[in-house]
Amino acid sequence: MENLRTGDSNQITRDYFDSLLVEMRHIDSVIPSTTLELYGERFDTPVMMAALSHLNKVRENGMVEMARGAYLANAVNWAGMGEEEELEAITATGAKTIKIIKPYADNKIIFRKIKHAQKCGALAVGMDVDHSFSGNGKYDNVLGHPMTSKSLDEIKEFVKSTDLPFIIKGVLSEQDALKCLEAGVKGIVVSHHHGIMNYAIPPLKILPRIAAIVNKQIPIFVDCGVASGMDVFKALALGATAVSAGRIIMDPLSKDGANGVKDTIIRMTEELAGVMARTCSCDMKHIDPSVIHNK
């Protein structure tokens, strides 16, 4: 009951991950493939980097080192808030990178950053709409930059402004999923932004309902608290296309840089393959959601 009293969304999310049980299916199972095909590219794993920012406190050139690790593991890299020069260095590693832009109050900044991401050869671009407000009901301010909420019409304009797939991060309701489809976005991230609001529903709890609405029209990504290949499997079984890992890579990044990131991605992918083999899941498109049970 402690979690319900404190409302810690991260602990509630962890508890929900751990409440999901997986049945085994061995007959007719084969060595599984963890290959991910996304936006015309092929990757070895559905384990992606999260849209992190400002990792220099973790390791010198931390964002670039994270990207290099993703490249070495042939995984999708994501990049959050940062200067243009940093994104250029990130994409120069060869990592296929999705750039997430804050909901700046000045849309000119957003359009400029979208254009820059496309110039850098980003795989996709998007916005974390869950950073619009602060906890006091006013618009957020991130490192001196004022934010604001975005209307459906504004999001449509962002989508139309680029040839890149446009992604909305911070979808945690059927309502927003429907609006994203209407806006023409090419991907959503089911996320509560590492507990940006107390008592937020765990992403995996709302995921099946969102997946039913999306109906495989666009990719669905999941983040928040993903710490193992088993976590990844549960997300995939419930409707995710791929999953982002964030805090789990911090310590390896700090200690071993790009190699630490690479090794963590590979380890989680191997754990995922182990669960897939024991659930008769030959590839990610053939993971049967009925293997998941609640305690």
**Separation of alpha carbons 86 and 64, rounded Å:** 8
Q: How many CB atoms lie under 10 A from the CB of residue 266?
A: 18
Q: H helices of the chain, where?
A: 2-6, 9-19, 62-72, 84-92, 107-119, 152-160, 174-183, 203-214, 229-237, 250-277
Between vectors from CA 285 to CA 270 and to CA 215, what angle results, nearest 5°? 130
> Could you tell me if 191 and 203 are in contact, meaning their C-beta atoms sit under 8 angstroms apart?
yes
Whole-Å CA distances, 71 to 67, 78, 126? 6, 11, 20
Phi, psi of 197 (to 5 degrees): -135, 135
**Strands 124-128 and 97-101, bridge-based pairing:** parallel
Helix (H) or strand (E) holding 142: strand 141-142
Closest C-alpha among 162, 170, 153 to residue 122: 162
Annotated active-site positions, please? Answer: 193
**Separation of alpha carbons 59 and 254, rounded Å:** 5
Q: Residues near 250 by Cβ (< 8 Å), separated by ≥ 6?
A: 58
Q: How far is CA 248 from the centre of its chain?
A: 13
> Could you tell me if 79 and 87 are in contact, meaning their C-beta atoms sit under 8 angstroms apart?
yes
